[in-house]
Structure 1
Amino acid sequence: MKALIFCSRQILTSKRFGGSAAHKRFNSSKVELFSKEVCEIILDKYPDLKTLNKLHSKIIVNEHLRIDPTLAIKLMRAYSANGETRVARYIFDRTLEKNVVFFNVMIRSYVNNNLYVEALSIYQVMSSCAFYPDHYTFPCVLKACSGLDNLRVGLQVHDAIVKVGLDSNLFIGNALVAMYGKCGRLREARKVLDQMPNRDVVSWNSMVAGYAQSGQFDDALEICKEMDSLKLNHDAGTMASLLPVVKAESSPENVRYVHNMFEKMARKSLVSWNVMIAIYVNNSMPNEAVSLFLQMEECGMKPDAVTIASLLPACGDLSALFLGRRLHKYIEKDNLLPNLLLENALLDMYAKCGCLEEARDVFDKMKLRDVVSWTSMMSAYGKSGQGYDAVALFAKMLDSGLNPDSISFVSVLSACSHAGLLEQGRRYFHIMTEQYRIVPRIEHFACMVDLFGRAGEVEEAYSFIKQMPMEPNERVWGALLSACRVHSKMDIGLIAADCLFQLAPKQSGYYVLLSNIYAKAGMWKDVMNVRNAMKKIGIKKVPGISNVELKGQVHTFLAGDQYHPQAKSIYEELDLLVGKMKELGYIPQTESALHDVEVEDKECHLAIHSEKLAIVFAILNTKHGTPIRITKNLRVCGDCHVAIKLISKIVSRDIIIRDCNRFHHFSNGICSCGDYW
Structure 2
Amino acid sequence: MNSHSWYAVLGRNKLKDKTELAHVLQSYAQTKELSKGKQLHAQLIRGSYPLCTYLTNHLINMYSRSGELGYATKLFDKMPQRNVVSWTAMITGFSQNWRFHEALNTFCLMRNVGEALTQFAFSSILRACVSLESIELGTQMHSLAMKCGFSNELFVGSNLADMYSKCGIMHDAFKVFNEMPCKDQVLWTSLIDGYVKNGDCGEALIAYKKMISNDILIDQHVLCSALSACSSLKSSDLGKSLHSTIVKLGFELDTVLVNTLIDMYSKSQDMESASKIFQSDSHCRNIVSYTALIDGYVEMGQIENALSTFVDLRRQGIEPNEFTFSSLVKACAHQAALEHGIQLHGQVVKSNFDRDPYVASTLIDMYGKCGLFDHSSQVFAEIENPNNIAWNSLLGAFAQHGLGRNAIETFQQMIDRGIKPNAITFVSLLIGCSHTGMVEEGLNFFHSMDKIYGVMPREEHYSCVIDLLGRAGRLKEAEDFINNMPFEPNAFGWCSFLGACKIHGDKERGKIAAEKLMTLEPENSGTHVLLSTIYAKEGQWEDVRSLRKMMRDGNIKKLPGYSWVDIQNKTHIFEAEDRSHSTKEIYEKLDSLLDEIKNVGYVPKTELVLVDMDEALKEKHLHRHSERIAVAFSLINMPIGKPIIVKKNLRVCDDCHSAIKFISKVTGRIIIVRDSSRFHHFSNGSCSCGDYW
TM-score scaled by structure 2? 0.71
> Could you tell me whether the CA contact under 8 Å between 2:227 and 2:242 is conserved in 1?
no
Instruction: After superposing the two structures, state which structure 1 stretch, 492-501 or 459-468, moved more.
Output: 459-468
Give the 3 Å change call, closer, same or farther, for CA 395–201 of structure 1 in structure 2.
closer
Instruction: Note if 1:578 corresponds to 2:590.
Output: yes
Which residue is 2:228 aligned to? 209
CA distance in 2, matches of 1:506, 1:612: 29
What's the offset of the Cα at 1:56?
8.0
Secondary structure at 1:465 match in 2: helix
1:637 Cα shift? 1.9
Q: Which one of 241, 249, 252 corresponds to residue 260 of structure 2?
A: 241
Mark the CA change 1:387 to 1:299 in structure 2 (over 3 Å): closer, same or farther.
same
Q: Give the CA deviation at 1:506.
A: 2.5
Call closer, same or farther: CA 1:64–1:521 in 2, change over 3 Å: farther
Kindly report which structure 2 residues correspond to 1:381-400, keeping only aligned pairs within 5 A, or say none.
Answer: 381-400=398-417
Match of 1:183 in 2: 194
Deviation at 1:535, TM superposition (A): 3.6
Query: What residue number does 2:654 align with?
Result: 638
Contact 1:80 1:113 in 2 (8 A): no
Alignment correspondent of 1:673: 689
SS at match of 1:657: strand
How many residue pairs get aligned? The number is: 616
Of structures 1 and 2, the one scoring higher in RCO (CA 8 A, sep 6+) is: 1
SS at match of 2:402: coil
In the other structure, the counterpart of 1:542 is: 559
Q: Does the 8 A contact of 1:545 with 1:558 survive in 2?
A: yes
The yes-or-no answer on 1:368 pairing with 2:385 is: yes
User: What is the DSSP-based 3-state SS (H/G/I as helix, E as strand, rest coil) of the residue aligned with 2:384?
Assistant: coil
| SS of corresponding position for 2:430 | helix
Matches within 5 A, 1:615-630: 615-616=631-632, 618-619=634-635, 621-630=637-646
Identity of aligned residues (%): 31
Equivalent of 1:192, from 211, 215, 240?
A: 211
Task: Please show how residues 435-454 of structure 1 align to structure 2 within 5 Å.
Answer: 440-454=457-471
Range with greater deviation from structure 2 (181-190 or 194-203): 194-203
1:557 alignment partner in structure 2? 573
Supply the AA of the counterpart residue of 1:629: I
Alignment correspondent of 2:428: 411
Q: Does 1:425 align with 2:436?
A: no
For residue 568 of structure 1, give the secondary structure of its aligned residue in structure 2: coil
Q: Which residue number in structure 1 is paired with residue 502 of structure 2? A: 485
Could you say which residue in structure 1 is the equivalent of 2:139? Answer: none
Deviates more, 1:578-587 or 1:404-413: 404-413
Are 1:277 and 1:311, in contact at CA under 8 Å, matched by a contact in 2? yes
Residue by residue over 1:524-561, the C-alpha shift from the partner in whole angstroms, topping out at 9 and shown as x without a partner, is: 4433432332343343333335454445x462625259
Verify the 8 A CA contact 1:509 1:541 in the aligned structure 2: yes
Letter in 2 for 1:332: V
RMSD of aligned Cα (Å): 5.3
Aligned to 2:151: none
What is the CA-CA distance between 1:424 and the residue it aligns to?
3.4
Q: From 106, 112, 120, give the equivalent of 1:124.
A: 120
Give the distance between the partners of 2:212 and 2:544, measured in 1 at CA.
60
- CA pair 614-145 structure 1, distance change in 2 beyond 3 A: farther
- Give the AA of the match of 2:208: A
Distance 2:562 2:417 in 1: 41
Cα distance, 1:596 vs structure 2: 4.8
Q: Distance in 2 between matches of 1:189 and 1:579?
A: 68
268-277 or 331-340, larger mean C-alpha shift: 331-340
Q: Which runs of 5+ in 2 are unaligned?
A: 8-20, 108-116, 124-144, 146-153, 166-171, 196-202
Q: Give the superposition deviation at 1:649.
A: 4.1
Structure 1, 636-645 or 144-153: larger mean CA deviation:
144-153
CA shift, 1:270, in A, is: 1.5
Aligned CA distance change for structure 1 residues 122 and 303 (closer, same or farther; 3 Å) = farther
Contact kept in structure 2, 1:290 and 1:314, CA below 8 Å: no
3-state SS of paired residue (1:505): coil
1:576-605 CA-to-partner distances (Å, cap 9, x unmatched) read 321221122155544555445666665565
Checking the alignment, whether the CA contact within 8 Å between 1:560 and 1:608 is kept in structure 2 is yes
Structure 1 residues 334-345: aligned runs within 5 Å: 334-336=351-353, 338-345=355-362
The answer to whether the Cα contact below 8 Å between 2:73 and 2:90 also exists between their aligned partners in 1 is no
Distance in 1 of aligned mates of 2:122 and 2:430: 60
Q: Which residue type is aligned with residue 209 of structure 1? A: S
SS in 1 for 2:581: helix
CA distance in 2 between counterparts of 1:334 and 1:352 reads: 24
8 Å contact 2:29–2:65 — kept in the other structure? Answer: no
Q: Is the 8 A contact 1:318 1:631 kept in 2?
A: no
> Which residue identity does 1:224 align to in structure 2?
K
Q: Distance in 1 between matches of 2:566 and 2:627?
A: 13
1:459 to 473, 476, 481: 476
Q: Residue 497 of structure 1 corresponds to which residue in structure 2?
A: 514
Structure 1: which amino acid aligns with 2:650? L
Q: Do the aligned partners of residues 427 and 97 (structure 1) sit closer, same or farther apart at CA in structure 2, a change above 3 Å counting? A: closer
Q: Which sits farther off after the overlay, 175-184 or 65-74?
A: 65-74
Structure 1 gaps of 5+ residues are 1-24, 129-137, 168-172
Q: Is the 8 A contact 1:383 1:662 kept in 2?
A: yes
For 2:137, the equivalent position in structure 1 comes to: none
Would the alpha carbon gap of residues 433 and 200 (structure 1) be closer, same or farther in structure 2, given more than 3 Å must change? closer
Q: Distance in 1 between matches of 2:46 and 2:268?
A: 66
